[in-house]
Structure 1
């Protein structure tokens, strides 16, 4: 019998949903995502709890599966997972799998499920050989992970562990040599390369690495040589300058309050010829007006009036007190007094008198108007009474 055209059978909207679906329908999207993240199959982030701080049996069960089987089987499984990650260049993940493989080889053999404490029967000799092979592979592959992450110290540690298990592992020598090269430990890099090539003399990567090490050593040797030559040149120049000053009777001293003269310094025209012309940084002080002029290179053959001639007139001297004939120049003596510096005397003659000292590599002149010279000298003496 057919139903009337205006009547319909029970619709999906009115039909009762299964309990599980009804529970899903009652939750928001965020609540559903949170619920799914508690299930190992759908996890997007690792949560050891059930989401509420309790245990997560599903996750614990999946973790336990990773350790099902013999020690060899568990370690090999982790090693294969590590290899897959390494092929994908996921170095951190690969390292963690190799960590787990190595750790699992240190675990005791599993007991029977009945808890009797009777060890599972294994072929100890065969398993020991396999375990050693897996451990060796994990150490040398973990060394690669460290190498890619530039953890060079860890590379050498893992290579050492590899070679303790198998002294003929060429990869370990190659990776250790690469790490040593990166650290500029060239003797160690050479040694690792040499040992590796003694095992496999035709190994192309080791040969290429040996060439790189040799090139790096050549470069470092050239840098060291250049530095030594530079240092020797500086020493020779200093000794020549000291000889030049001594032969001229010029006194110098240094204090702990040396001014910053940048690249201005006492120098010889020819750095290794003590008889060549000396020049000095010099400062002209105008103490009565708190002004100064700096002369980067004042030759021992030059006279003060030659410099005053191009410096005068002074832009701030509104009273026109500073003229060639209207000023006197003074220099402090080695004992704290003053001497008049002749404007027509060469600097070399003034400094060679032995009465003054060049302090901190700088020659100092005090320039004052003649009319106020006595006033300034009296003030200078008062300020320098000890």
Structure 2
């Protein structure tokens, strides 16, 4: 066997001597070997995000090889699909969606590949609660391949999440024609059918409740109209408008009644005997106080309520003890004419509400109460139009 020339042996000896004395730059050590391995594509545990060619030239090279424009659209779409699958396995669903989207953009003629890309993207959307987007992708996948079972399953699950149970049942039935023993479809269909029946039952109950409410509302409005009681939606109208509407209900009748619930927490209602009960407000201007009667029966007299309110426990604000049932006068205001009408305490509420100048405002009849001929009473009415006894 030929031996090496002496010169080569001498050069090799010199190299080995230098190798023993100088440390290799960039070599792995106990502290950084895992970090360095992560930079090598073969040993990477996770796919990287944005690739900087200067920092990761090996990866940039691989990316160029995978998505080179010289490769066919089908090949590029498959590469994006695989990339998306890698992200999906890592549960990085947003990056998976981005990868699948790039694959879809290639507009390949392979219906199977397109169906897979759409279905995979639907799955990624599903896991970040984008149920509408997931459903749209499942529909798109089936347009590519109507019998794509995974797309059918994903669409059915999306319909369940958005509570469209009848559609979920329909998709399950279509999927079971493709695969009659598919466990996921059988389970989903059973659950969807049960929820669909429950939703239908609840909807029927709700319709019955609404129907009953509407019937009660119609009866209430008819009772008010038959009595000739006038309702104002707003607190004030012009005289021209009032003259036009006199003798009939004004504005959206029910809207005018409903507003009382916001003001007082109560609303006029019709009892089992066909009689009206009204929420009523009493104002005491001299003391800036109010009383509220939540259900003033239309056949009750004013004097009966005054006796109950001022018989034994007098209000704490009446320090002079001036307020007693027979020393009080009750008025209502006609805002359209800026006039006040005195109420006969022996009158019933219905008789007053039927007065030609009385309008129910905000669904709640209201009255002003004064101590008769008191100094405050005289001053208050000194510059106002006053009509005695209603």
TM-score by length of 2: 0.69
Aligned to 1:378: 382
SS state of the match for residue 279, structure 2? Answer: strand
Structure 2 Cα separation of the partners of residues 103 and 245 of structure 1: 67
SS state of the match for residue 325, structure 1? Answer: helix
Give the Å deviation of 1:368: 0.9
Aligned to 2:330: 329
Does the Cα contact within 8 Å between 2:283 and 2:369 map onto a contact in 1? yes
Structure 2: 5+ residue runs without aligned partners?
1-19, 237-258
Structure 2 Cα separation of the partners of residues 37 and 284 of structure 1: 86
* Greater Cα shift, 159-168 or 251-260: 251-260
Structure 1 Cα separation of the partners of residues 111 and 231 of structure 2: 74
Aligned to 1:356: 358
Relative distance call for 1:379 and 1:354 in structure 2 (3 A) is same
Structure 1: 5+ residue runs without aligned partners?
1-14, 107-127
SS state of the match for residue 146, structure 1? Answer: helix
Give the Å deviation of 1:286: 1.4
Structure 2 Cα separation of the partners of residues 262 and 223 of structure 1: 32
Corresponding position: 1:18 with 2:23:
yes
Structure 2 Cα separation of the partners of residues 287 and 316 of structure 1: 12
Relative distance call for 1:180 and 1:345 in structure 2 (3 A) is same
Aligned to 1:233: 212
Relative distance call for 1:357 and 1:157 in structure 2 (3 A) is closer
Relative distance call for 1:369 and 1:165 in structure 2 (3 A) is closer
Aligned 1:336-355 pairs, distance under 5 A? 336-355=338-357
Equivalent of 2:265 in 263, 266, 269? 263
Aligned 1:94-109 pairs, distance under 5 A? 94-96=96-98, 98-99=100-101
Does the Cα contact within 8 Å between 2:338 and 2:384 map onto a contact in 1? no
Relative distance call for 1:378 and 1:152 in structure 2 (3 A) is same
TM-score by length of 1: 0.70
Does the Cα contact within 8 Å between 1:329 and 1:367 map onto a contact in 2? yes
Does the Cα contact within 8 Å between 1:67 and 1:74 map onto a contact in 2? yes
Relative distance call for 1:242 and 1:79 in structure 2 (3 A) is closer
Does the Cα contact within 8 Å between 1:249 and 1:354 map onto a contact in 2? no
Aligned to 2:321: 320
Aligned to 1:206: 185
- Deviations along 1:17-40, one digit per CA (max 9) or x if unpaired, are 43627x999xxx9xx99x969955
Does the Cα contact within 8 Å between 2:111 and 2:145 map onto a contact in 1? no
Q: CA RMSD in A?
A: 3.9
